[in-house]
Structure 1
Amino acid sequence: MSQFRRVTDQVSVSPQITLADVDEAARQGFKLIVNNRPDGEEPGQPPSSAFQAAAAAAGLAYVHIPVSGGPTPQQVETQRQVIAEADGPVLAFCRSGTRSIVTWSLGEAQSGAHSRDELVQLGREAGYDLSGVLPR
C-alpha cells in the first residue's frame, strides 16, 4: 500500500499507488484522484485507463494530468482548477509524489493562496523539499 501524505485538509500526495489503493483512498474520504504520471513511464505501471476505471468503481472522480519533468503553466493551472472544483479531499500521485506536490504548490503560489514560506513548510511536513522550485 502506498503512503498518502497529507499536505493540507484538501490535498494529499503519494508515490505511485496501486489499483487496490484506489479503494483505500475512497475509504479514507478522498473524492478525487489526480494522476500526474505519464502512461508507460515505467514497465509494469498500470495505465491511466485502469485507474480511471478503478476510481469510477470506487465512486471517485479521476483526472489524468501527466507531467514529464517540470510541469507546464497549463498543467499547473489545470491541476489548480480541478482541485479547487473537487467535491472534497484530493489525492494526487506520481512516481515519488514530487511532481504532484510541485505542480500543486506552483498553482498555490501563483494564485496567492499560500505564501512561498507556507508552501515550503507544508512540503517539508509532507516529506518534500520545495525550496528550490518555488519562486522567491
Structure 2
Amino acid sequence: MPIKRLTDTLSVAPQISEGDLAALAAQGFRSVINNRPDGEAGDQPASAVLAAAAARAGLVYRDIPVISGQLQDAQVAAFGKALAELPAPVLAFCRTGTRSTTLWALDAVRARPVADVVHTAAQAGYDLDALRPRLEQARQAGRS
C-alpha cells in the first residue's frame, strides 16, 4: 500500500484492507480516516469491518465518506475537525488518495497559502491545479 505523507501528522493512501490496519499501527499511525463510501466498489471492505479491525489494532477510526466528485463543505469541516481531534499521526484513505488529499487541502488553505498547499499535494503525487479556484474561495472564506 503506497502511503504519501502530506504533513508531519497526516498521510494519505489508496484503499486499505482489513489486514493493513495492524501494519499501519506497527508503522506508528494512531488514527485512520476512511473517505470512501461503502459499496463504491465490489472488492472494497465495508467501513464497519475496517472499524473493527482498526479497534483490534489499537487505532482510532473515523468514517467521513465522500462520493467522488460531490465533495461538500460539511465534509471538509468534518475532516478538519477529525484532524484536530484524532491522535496523530493520521492516515486518510479513499480509492486513490485524491479525495483525502482534497479534503486536507480545502481545510489547510484556511491557514496556509494556496500555492503552498497545491505544492505539498503535488510533491505527494496529487495534482490539485484544477481545484485552485475552490481553494482560493476556501482561503478567502477562512480569512473572513
Answer yes or no: same fold by TM over 0.5: yes
SS of 1:17's partner is coil
Structure with greater Cα Rg: 2
Q: CA deviation at 1:27?
A: 0.9
**Structure 1 unpaired stretches of 5+:** none
Q: Tell me the number of residue pairs that the alignment of Structure 1 and Structure 2 aligns.
A: 133
Query: In 2, Cα distance between the equivalents of 1:100 and 1:70?
Result: 13
Cα root mean square deviation, aligned? 1.0
Q: CA deviation at 1:115?
A: 1.1
Query: In 2, Cα distance between the equivalents of 1:114 and 1:26?
Result: 29
Counterpart in the other structure of 1:64? 63
The one-letter code sitting in structure 1 at the alignment partner of 2:61 is Y
More helix by share: 2
The TM-score with structure 1 as length reference comes to 0.94
Counterpart in the other structure of 1:91? 91
Aligned 8 A contact 2:10 2:88 in 1: no
Aligned 8 A contact 2:77 2:107 in 1: yes
Query: In 1, Cα distance between the equivalents of 2:125 and 2:41?
Result: 23
Q: Percent identity?
A: 44
**Structure 2 unpaired stretches of 5+:** 137-144
The TM-score with structure 2 as length reference comes to 0.89
Query: In 2, Cα distance between the equivalents of 1:100 and 1:120?
Result: 14
Query: In 2, Cα distance between the equivalents of 1:86 and 1:44?
Result: 28
| Dislocated runs of 4+, deviation >6 Å | none
